[in-house]
Structure 1
């Protein structure tokens, strides 16, 4: 007969794979903490890259702006706009340079003439002692400035100067014995070393257009016309670093446009510091 006074016992059997709930909760909290920490680290890294990108871009733009101003002899960086493109400067810096740099200058001086300029440089190194890949510069001289070099365009006194189509049309009075004849002359600008040459192309006598080549073949007319039929030059050497080469000159709309280049030359090189000399006008 069983002892009715014995207290009942309850046996609790735990499976070997079972774990207390507290342990699971603690592990879940641990995982959550790592996710939060990872998110914070990611945010810090992203913000850090943005700050480096922003600071690096500002520093690079300032550097390029200063170097361009110094190289071209510009007293102030006001009116100098620099665009380093949309790519990541951090990634470009790793490769040692900037892919494309665009610079716009509101004012540059070309031997006394005020002009504007647009520059595009490629593969620009971070060190000024290293050569860039290409450097192209487009200088635009407005029509009103061309009037300042009237004496350079022709050996005669000019009544008017205007840019027309692909030429510069000048008008004057041609003295033939006792007869005064109004004459218009079309000059085509061309690159001539460190100068711009203005080559006579055609002469207009009233409504009649005559080729300069035909007039030059006539010994009598050629002798009487004198400097009217000769090519004139405008020197730009004193405003152009030795690194730059004049590739072409053309009339575009109301501007005289000069295309220059300087490939594989370091911005910090001596060629950017050396300028030519123009004879006194």
Structure 2
């Protein structure tokens, strides 16, 4: 039996194996989850901190309002249950307290009394220290009184003339007796402030049925009387208000005379706001 010899073919190459993909590492789920928990905890702490600050701010504002209200009640000698509205502005009281003073304070008292005067009081303060013995940077008080209160400033209120407000002027009504006849007098006056006193400057006077303007010259008998009466009248305010407050302006607003006082540098707890001023001897 013969053996057939086949021609040698090209050498066979081993089969090509597909590349082996490297194994992808599993994501660090535990590590990522830890960061997420940390962020949640941080967010909760921030929220709790904000809530705590809001609560503390509310308590601080209440305390500051009570402090200011107590001082106003003491200074004005108001009843303990008097209506006193205190506004401390929009800033953070805690941050202001750390600085030792409140930036702005506004107080409204619908029924306040200064000596013989009764009216509506509005107080504005800036740079109000929490230390009651320290001076306030700015202190302004607007005190609105009615026409009847002007009579209380007269030396003898029982014989004081009748006051009324007409437009931006004060109207004064009185009378005098001449040769057995009672003659009515009417004055119109401009209110102002000078050297801490209320000044009423006549602009015209009516005697009987005749009117004389300020600055006009009339040599008649009534004209000479009018000239003598057309002189500024000064009413002392100092004896009715704390000595720290100085009258700075006076103007008619509707049916009220608004007296504006300045008390810059006064201390809320100092004697100058608790002691009435004095009027010079007549």
Task: State the TM-score bracket (shorter-chain normalisation).
Answer: 0.7 to 0.9
Which structure is larger by alpha-carbon Rg, 1 or 2?
2
Greater CA drift, 171-180 or 161-170: 171-180
Residues 222, 193 of structure 1: CA spacing in aligned structure 2 closer, same or farther, 3 A cutoff? Answer: farther
Residues 77, 237 of structure 1: CA spacing in aligned structure 2 closer, same or farther, 3 A cutoff? Answer: farther
Listed one character per residue, the Cα deviations across residues 191-242 of structure 1 (whole Å, up to 9, x for unaligned) are 3545434343320246653135557x86965875798556544443343111
Which residue matches 1:253?
254
Q: Is the 8 A contact 1:152 1:234 kept in 2?
A: no
* Structure 2 stretches lacking a partner, 5+ long: 1-21
Which residue matches 1:78?
82
Whole-Å separation in 1 of the counterparts to 2:174 and 2:231:
15
Residues 219, 206 of structure 1: CA spacing in aligned structure 2 closer, same or farther, 3 A cutoff? Answer: closer
Whole-Å separation in 1 of the counterparts to 2:239 and 2:167:
29
2:145 to 116, 138, 141: 141
More helix, by proportion: 1
Q: TM-score, normalised by structure 2?
A: 0.77
Whole-Å separation in 2 of the counterparts to 1:30 and 1:201:
85
Matched, 1:93 2:94: no
* Structure 1 stretches lacking a partner, 5+ long: 1-14
Classify the secondary structure of the residue corresponding to 1:38: helix
Greater CA drift, 65-74 or 80-89: 65-74
Which residue matches 1:275?
276
Which residue matches 1:242?
243
Whole-Å separation in 1 of the counterparts to 2:61 and 2:262:
25
Whole-Å separation in 2 of the counterparts to 1:260 and 1:70:
18
Classify the secondary structure of the residue corresponding to 2:49: helix
Whole-Å separation in 1 of the counterparts to 2:33 and 2:203:
88
Query: CA shift at 1:86, angstroms?
Result: 1.1
Which residue matches 2:19?
none
